[in-house]
Structure 1
Amino acid sequence: MTGTFFDLDPLMTAETWRKGGRDVAIATVIETWGSAPRPAGSHLVIDRDGNFEGSVSGGCVEGAVITEALDVIADGKAKMLEFGVADETAWRVGLSCGGRIRVYVERLD
């Protein structure tokens, strides 16, 4: 094994990508209720080209978060996203586990 724990840390990835000149957003799980695949504090890092590392939920929720992150990178306006079984978008994005998550997405400058 040649890598270290830090090679897999999305925050370290974000720092490396920023130092390399990439435009980057970070998504952070702020709150969870009920059954949620990732705990609060989990991160997903996204660059302008749609490359990503980490996880905030898994499945289609991450696709929706990545799409929103690209908008955040473009306009610089942070967003609070919520996905949950009570939300009609929950089934569309694949969060049918009975839980809810709130994800904060911000551009890193």
Structure 2
Amino acid sequence: MISTDTDILATAEAWAKAGRGVALATVVETWGSAPRPVGSHLVIDGEGNFLGSVSGGCVEGAVVAEAGDVIAEGKPRTLEFGVADETAWQVGLSCGGRIKVYVEPVRA
């Protein structure tokens, strides 16, 4: 079962208040066939625990890895995944579309 946005955002807030490093990933743009719609969220902590989904599994691992850097640096970044990109196949994006994911640090 996919968690609701309310669950994901509440978890992000709770983890941050508990002193964990936290990042929030949000799908901000899609084109063609995309597994999750714009507005989908994934919250990640500094140890790699996560809740939610931004890709239905096809790029989640890459987003979790990038979130670790966002937490460490404290600076947001935008990630792009598409079937035309060489990296798309490395992370498993074979659905034929493109997605853009904004990853930002969460502070208590």
Q: TM-score, normalised by structure 2?
A: 0.91
Aligned to 2:99: 101
Contact 2:20 2:46 in 1 (8 A): yes
Aligned partner (choices 28, 31, 39) of residue 30 of structure 1: 28
Which has more radius of gyration? 1
- CA shift, 1:53, in A, is 0.3
By how many angstroms is 1:8 displaced?
Answer: 6.8
Displacement of 1:37 after TM fit? 0.6
Q: 2:45 aligns with which of 31, 44, 47?
A: 47
TM-score (norm 1): 0.90
Unpaired runs of at least 5, structure 2: none
% identity of equivalent residues: 74
Q: Where in structure 1 do 4 or more consecutive aligned residues deviate above 6 Å?
A: 5-8
CA contact (8 A) 2:44 2:67 kept: yes
Q: Which residue of 2 aligns with 1:65?
A: 63
Q: Is the 8 A contact 2:59 2:92 kept in 1?
A: yes
Q: Which deviations, in whole Å up to 9, do the C-alpha atoms of 1:11-46 show, x marking residues without a partner? A: 111011112111100000000001011000000000
Report the aligned-residue RMSD: 1.7
